[in-house]
């Protein structure tokens, strides 16, 4: 991050090359204007612009039982609730790595299960990855080598605004964007799913785009059919695909002839069953193609640092998310500790959401502690609410990119006097230590 004019007054500070931590794609070319506490996005996708924009207002104070208080008092109240809990569930987990570490410290101290808000897609993908593995690629590999990109499902720019600019940048007017190994050639992009938005078409203007329209609930079937065709099997027994079967058949030879094909899908927008089927089919297609050429999967995901939460849980406990820890043990039970299920047995909910105003799930069985974005609108006033800053807006932090190979440093844009999740969690840990 750089400021293009350090000598100017804070009233018109323009910050360029801002790194974005919201969707997991890791764009690092955003631009904002900062004036006091106010942030006005200048260059960002629609989602990042919405989440970066801030008014020039003081942050709300922490609250206990709806009454404003200090961070220390709110942390002490949270500590009292946690000490009285026997089955706590931690949800959301939208935080930078430091915040996640401290939240996991609380879970270790008090005993709790934990899950991330966006883990549905992750676990659908893990069904294949955990069972048979797959060959996955990275943003850099797609940019530099991919000559045929197959996208299953709805337009991915609806969730990842600049995905095509990152994966297949146009070299026009930007020498840095020129791919290393497919320079001078138009890449082929095949969309098997929903129609592309105008913005997506503009981003792909330099490529050869083929759209095979498939309703979302038949994307999994289409993915299976394509893999079957690649493996030399017939799909005549799939009448639902009559309309698109010829287009799928026509894709087989280009895939076999491609130097480096990549299969992309966003499990988070498909049903759990369909997402798992698409992951299986995409990985299966790569298995078939890899005998004679290069191919890989590139699953889209990573919102609110879920990749970092997944990694941090693995480092720390040896298990992924949807694990319960405490008393020196860890137990991974993905069905039992998915947030919706865990809350049926929980007696306390601790919710973390620093990247966006994401409210906790409805919960009436015990106290709710929220370490959350200051704009969060609650359906039930939490027993303890500590407004926290956003990594990359209010404080430094690290988040993982969706391909897991890069940990991105985020820098603050303003001083809003909001504690980070790490600071709020540390205050709670401190209150627990004092009471021990």
Residues that bind ligand SF4 (CB under 6 A): 20, 22-23, 25-27, 30, 44-45, 47-48, 160-162
Closer residue to ligand SF4, CB minimum distance, 143 or 162: 162
Backbone dihedral angles phi then psi of residue 114, each to the nearest 5 degrees: -145, 150
* Residue recorded with tokens 């008014």: 55
Assign 3-state DSSP to the chain and report helix, strand, coil percentages, each to 5.
40, 25, 40
Which are the contacts of 241, defined by CB distance < 8 A and separation ≥ 6?
Answer: 218, 221, 222, 225, 235, 248
Check: CB of residue 161 under 8 Å from CB of residue 228: no
Decide: 403 and 14 in contact? Cβ < 8 Å: no
C-beta of 22 vs 90, nearer to ligand SF4: 22
Helix (H) or strand (E) holding 30: strand 30-35
What Rg, from alpha-carbon coordinates, does the chain have? 23
Q: Which is nearer to ligand SF4, 52 or 220 (CB)?
A: 52
* Nearest CA among 380, 371, 369, 374 for reference residue 393: 374
Given the complex with ligand SF4, which of 19 and 229 has the nearer CB atom? Answer: 19
Task: Report, in Å, the least distance between residue 391 CB and ligand SF4.
Answer: 13
Complex with ligand SF4: residue 20 or 348, whichever CB lies closer: 20
Least spacing, CB of residue 355 vs ligand SF4, in Å: 10
Q: Which is nearer to ligand SF4, 130 or 357 (CB)?
A: 357
Q: For residue 397, count other CB atoms closer than 10 A to its CB.
A: 29
Distance CA 162, CA 157 (A): 6
Q: Which residues pair with 387 in a beta bridge?
A: 372
Q: Please, which residue, 22 or 104, has the CB nearer to ligand SF4? A: 22
Structure tokens at 124: 């659908």
Minimum Å distance from CB 59 to ligand SF4? 23
Q: What does 175-243 look like in DSSP terms, one character per residue?
A: GGGS-SSSTTSPPEEEEEESPPPHHHHHHTTTSEEEEEE--GGGHHHHHHHHHHHHTT---TT-GGGTT
Q: How far is the CB of 73 from ligand SF4 (least distance, A)?
A: 35
Residue 340: how many other CB atoms lie within 10 Å: 11
Pairing verdict, β 112-114 and 323-326: antiparallel
Nearest distance, CB of residue 47 and ligand SF4, angstroms: 5
Give the nearest distance from C-beta 172 to ligand SF4 in angstroms: 20
Task: In angstroms, give the least distance from the CB of 203 to ligand SF4.
Answer: 11
Kindly report the number of other CB atoms within 10 A of residue 115's CB atom. Answer: 27
Q: Which is nearer to ligand SF4, 21 or 320 (CB)?
A: 21
Q: How far is the CB of 219 from ligand SF4 (least distance, A)?
A: 22
CB of 261 to ligand SF4, least distance (A): 23
Give the nearer residue to ligand SF4 in terms of CB position, either 43 or 131: 43
Could you tell me the smallest distance in angstroms from the CB atom of residue 354 to ligand SF4? 15
* Closest separation in Å from C-beta 249 to ligand SF4: 34
In angstroms, the CA 370 to CA 305 distance is 18
Please say which residue, 408 or 424, places its beta carbon nearer to ligand SF4.
Answer: 408
Three-state DSSP class for residue 112: strand
Strands 148-153 and 188-193: parallel
Q: Give the span between the Cα atoms of 233 and 4, in whole angstroms.
A: 59
79 versus 194: smaller Cβ distance to ligand SF4 = 194
């Amino acid at each position: 991050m750089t400021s293009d004019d350090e000598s100017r007054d804070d009233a018109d500070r323009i910050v360029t090359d801002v790194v974005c931590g919201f969707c997991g794609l890791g764009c690092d070319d955003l631009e904002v204007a900062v004036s006091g506490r106010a942030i006005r996005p200048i260059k960002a996708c629609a989602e990042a612009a919405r989440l970066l924009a801030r008014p020039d207002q003081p942050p709300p104070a922490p609250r206990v039982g709806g009454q404003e208080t200090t961070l220390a008092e709110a942390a002490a109240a949270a500590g009292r609730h946690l000490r009285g809990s026997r089955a706590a569930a931690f949800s959301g987990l939208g935080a930078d790595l430091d915040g996640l570490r401290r939240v996991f410290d609380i879970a270790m101290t008090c005993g709790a299960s934990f899950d991330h808000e966006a883990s549905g897609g992750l676990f659908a993908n893990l069904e294949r990855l955990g069972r048979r593995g797959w060959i996955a690629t990275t943003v850099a590999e797609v940019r530099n080598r991919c000559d045929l990109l197959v996208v299953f499902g709805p337009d991915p720019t609806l969730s990842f605004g600049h995905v095509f600019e990152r994966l297949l940048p146009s070299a026009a007017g930007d020498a840095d964007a020129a791919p290393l190994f497919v320079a001078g050639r138009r890449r082929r992009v095949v969309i098997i799913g929903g129609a592309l938005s105008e913005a997506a078409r503009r981003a792909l203007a330099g490529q050869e785009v083929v759209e095979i329209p498939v309703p979302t609930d038949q994307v999994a079937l289409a993915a299976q059919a394509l893999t079957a065709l690649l493996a030399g099997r017939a799909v005549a027994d799939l009448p639902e695909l009559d309309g698109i079967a010829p287009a799928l058949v026509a894709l087989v030879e280009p895939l076999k002839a491609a130097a480096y094909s990549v299969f992309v899908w966003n499990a988070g927008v498909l049903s759990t069953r369909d997402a798992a089927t698409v992951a299986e089919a995409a990985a299966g297609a790569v298995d078939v193609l890899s005998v004679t050429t290069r191919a890989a999967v590139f699953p889209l995901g990573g919102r609110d640092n879920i990749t970092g939460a997944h990694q941090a849980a693995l480092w720390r406990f040896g298990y992924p998310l949807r694990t319960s820890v405490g008393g020196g043990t860890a137990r991974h039970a993905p069905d039992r500790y998915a947030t919706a299920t865990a809350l049926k047995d929980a007696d306390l909910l601790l919710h973390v959401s620093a990247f966006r105003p994401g409210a906790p799930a409805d919960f009436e069985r015990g106290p709710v502690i929220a370490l959350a974005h200051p704009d969060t609108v609650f359906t039930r006033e939490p027993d303890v609410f500590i407004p926290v800053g956003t990594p990359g807006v209010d404080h430094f932090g690290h988040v993982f990119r969706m391909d897991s190979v890069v940990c991105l440093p985020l820098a603050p844009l303003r001083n809003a006097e909001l504690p980070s999740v790490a600071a709020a969690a540390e205050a709670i840990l401190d209150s627990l230590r004092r009471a021990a």
